[in-house]
């Protein structure tokens, strides 16, 4: 039977199954906190067995214990660590989903950046993602399928002073995703990125002490609020599912309208006339 001849019950069942990750294995790098932790939880909630990895050993062990998964201490900027994670995951069987979330930025004027600061940002945000996509891309190519998901940022396309280097790495990440998607499609491997804007994680707690800045950033979205990590994680889970089987090479905005509007919503209703 096919979609043209299936009865409605069979078609509805197929839709439900397309969101089910039961029996699949996922690797989440950055699972100790924030978007990575929420992504691990979302994938587990849909039935996946999740291998959790993070530089924060205590944090990743807590996440893994809560989800009944394995934990690995991994430096996301270290090629050897990522290669070892890929080997360990492959030894457990098929790797259906691989997600990477770690990133960092140093808010500093371009002309004041040191060579070391530049290398640290690029080393984690771009080289680290390259290592991850290469390692797990090889596994998925050889097994004939899988879903790779990286984490970009609205700063790949919209910037403010002090974020030029961070934004450049995120723009580069988007192109890594597109390029790899073009090469692995023939092997039934999908490669995508999620693109958050402002996410309320533990890292931004100090910013809440400066409500004039915290609220100004919130006002740049059409919802006038920061996102929760789970709101980005559900997009990750969607891209991991068969429901997204025809989506690849995409940078999926999960930004509250940040990149859809030209500045904060004004609330003005006047009609402009020449």
What pLDDT does residue 266 have? 56
Name residue, tokens 């009865």: 7
Mean pLDDT of 212-239: 93
Mean pLDDT of 243-266: 89
Which of 15, 113, 166, 246 is catalytic? The answer is 166
Q: Is the pLDDT of residue 265 over 80?
A: no
pLDDT in tens, 109-120: 999 999 999 999
The domain spans of the chain are: 16-201+228-254
Q: Is the pLDDT of residue 268 over 50?
A: no
pLDDT in tens, 123-147: 999 999 999 999 999 999 999 999 9
16-201+228-254, CATH topology level: Rossmann fold (3.40.50)
At 207, is the pLDDT very low, low, confident or very high (cuts 50, 70, 90)? Answer: confident
Weakest mean pLDDT among 36-40, 125-129, 213-217, 233-237: 213-217
Q: Quick check: is 166 catalytic? A: yes
At 249, is the pLDDT very low, low, confident or very high (cuts 50, 70, 90)? Answer: very high
Evaluate if pTM is beyond 0.75.
yes
């Amino acid at each position: 039977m096919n979609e043209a001849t299936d009865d409605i019950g069979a078609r509805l069942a197929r839709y439900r199954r397309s969101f089910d990750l039961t029996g699949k294995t996922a690797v989440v790098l950055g699972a100790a906190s924030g978007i990575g932790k929420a992504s691990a939880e979302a994938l587990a909630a849909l039935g996946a067995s999740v291998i959790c990895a993070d530089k924060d050993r205590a944090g990743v062990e807590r996440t893994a214990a809560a989800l009944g998964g394995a934990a690995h201490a991994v430096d996301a900027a270290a090629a050897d660590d990522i290669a070892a994670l890929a080997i360990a995951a492959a030894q457990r069987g098929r790797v259906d989903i691989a997600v990477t979330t770690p990133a960092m930025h140093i808010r500093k004027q371009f002309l004041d950046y040191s060579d070391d600061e530049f290398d640290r940002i690029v080393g984690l945000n771009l080289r680290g993602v390259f290592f991850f996509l290469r390692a797990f891309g090889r596994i998925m190519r050889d097994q004939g399928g899988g879903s790779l998901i990286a984490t970009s940022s609205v700063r790949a396309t919209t910037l403010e002073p002090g974020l030029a280097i961070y934004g450049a790495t995120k723009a580069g990440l988007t192109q890594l995703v597109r390029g790899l998607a073009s090469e692995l499609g023939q092997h039934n491997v999908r490669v995508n990125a999620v693109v958050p804007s402002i996410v309320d994680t533990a890292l931004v707690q100090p910013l809440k002490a400066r409500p004039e800045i915290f609220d100004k950033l919130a006002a740049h979205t059409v919802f006038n609020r920061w996102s929760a990590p789970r709101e980005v994680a559900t997009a990750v889970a969607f891209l991991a599912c068969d429901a997204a089987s025809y989506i690849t090479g995409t940078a999926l905005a999960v930004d509250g309208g940040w990149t859809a509007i030209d500045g904060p919503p004004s609330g003005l209703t006047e009609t402009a006339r020449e």
